[in-house]
Amino acid sequence: METLVQFLEKNSIYIVLIIVLIVWFGIYFFIYGLDKKVKKIEEKLEK
C-alpha cells in the first residue's frame, strides 16, 4: 500500500487542485466579509 507522500508525488495535480481550492475559498470569504462591511457603511450613510 502506498503512503500518502508517494501518492502525492505521483499525482501532483491533486496538490495543485487543493491549493487552487484554498485560494478560491480565501477570495470568496474575503469578498463576503468586504460586502458585509460595505453594507454596514451604506446603512450608516443612508441615516
The model's pTM is 0.67
pLDDT of residue 22: 98
- What are the structural domain ranges in the chain? 4-46
Residues 10-46 pLDDT 10s: 888 988 999 999 999 999 999 999 999 999 999 999 8
Q: Give 1's pLDDT tier (boundaries 50, 70, 90).
A: low
Nine-digit cell at 14?
A: 491533486
Work out whether the CA dihedral 3, 6, 10, 13 comes out positive or negative.
positive
